[in-house]
Amino acid sequence: MKTTSIDKSYGGTQGVYINRSEACDCDMTFAVFVPPRAAEGKRPVLWYLSGLTCTHANVMDKGEYRRLAAELGLIVVCPDTSPRGDHVPDEPDNWQFGKGAGFYVDATEPPFSANYRMYSYITDELPRLLAAEFPVDMDRQGIFGHSMGGHGAITIALKNPDRFRSCSAFAPISHPSVSGWSKPALRKYLGADENTWRAYDTCSLIEDGHRFPELLVDQGTADSFLEDGLRPDELRQACEAAGIPLRLRMQEGYGHSYFFISTFMDDHLRWHAQRLEN
């Protein structure tokens, strides 16, 4: 692991690091905020997964999480959204696929299967590195994210309910198998058999029996991707049918940007802290 920067913030440290990923066969960048209370012992860890076109830096620069994370004693981890490098296959003119758009899947279709293994990177490789290098309590983990990252957070939590104590999302892609901006990506990463997509689709996972104790989702009513891309009503219906408590808050007038995310970031941090401390 290589440290690229360390800055003091709210008594803690905001660091940016690079590791050579075996899962993605490239160098991967990630950010970690460590609160001052980590000097007293291991702290709960909260994963934030970013959306399409983003890197680790978007939430780090615009998410406004450090003040309250320091107060609550939360370690916040912000990974990148895809593999990177000149050798990584890409579609440079397509912002919904390739670099910046890994969709947190393990691709099975060549040439993408060689690098686009974000699910394994997030659930296996990076946690092992964090446990070795940072004062994290791996028995107290939460996960949240935005848009494509909200999709990633909920699907990962549904498939790993024994690992994560809490899960929330900002404007998640709730049903990527049918959404206009994610269906083409799943086909390229996972192949033409849509049954294989179900393992990376929140609504499908719930239909197939996966469960999580409770979810918090914030969604802006002025989000331009609301109807076709995000489909929160379908998430609501899936959770109701399965008996999963879902707190879906439709936030009047808010869009899809970090103006929206930063407004409700404190609510999400407190949601996770309550569940990670108990």
Given a contact cutoff of 8 angstroms between Cβ atoms, the answer to whether 154 and 172 are in contact is: yes
Q: Is residue 85 classed as helix, strand or coil in its secondary structure?
A: coil
**Confidence band for 262, pLDDT divided at 50, 70 and 90:** very high
The C-alpha angle 52, 55, 59, rounded to 5 degrees, equals 95
Q: Are strands 215-220 and 246-251 parallel, antiparallel or unpaired?
A: parallel
Domain layout of the chain by residue ranges? 2-277
Closest CA to 130 of 75, 184, 173: 75
pLDDT tens digits for range 74-109: 999 999 999 999 999 999 999 999 999 999 999 999
Extended strands (E) in 210-258: 215-220, 246-251
Half-sphere exposure of 208 (CA within 13 A, CB side): 14
Per-residue confidence (pLDDT) for residue 78, from 0 to 100: 98
Written out in words, the top-level CATH class of the domain with range 2-277 is alpha beta
Closest CA to 83 of 115, 123, 55, 108: 115
Cα dihedral sign for 271, 160, 60, 9? positive
Collect all residues with Cβ–Cβ distance below 8 Å to 219 and sequence separation of at least 6. 170, 171, 226, 230, 232, 248, 249, 250, 251
- Asked if residue 128 has pLDDT above 80, the reply is yes
**Confidence band for 165, pLDDT divided at 50, 70 and 90:** very high
Closest CA to 48 of 136, 156, 133: 156
Q: Are strands 75-79 and 26-34 parallel, antiparallel or unpaired?
A: antiparallel
pLDDT tens digits for range 41-61: 999 999 999 999 999 999 999
CA 178 to chain centre: 20
**Confidence band for 208, pLDDT divided at 50, 70 and 90:** very high
Per-residue confidence (pLDDT) for residue 111, from 0 to 100: 97
pTM, entire model: 0.97
Per-residue confidence (pLDDT) for residue 181, from 0 to 100: 86
User: Average model confidence (pLDDT) for the chain?
Assistant: 97
Task: State both tokens at 75.
Answer: 């370690």
Q: What percent of the chain has pLDDT over 90?
A: 98
Closest CA to 46 of 226, 213, 276: 276
Peptide bond into 111 cis (omega under 30): yes
| Residue positions annotated with a catalytic role | 147, 223, 256
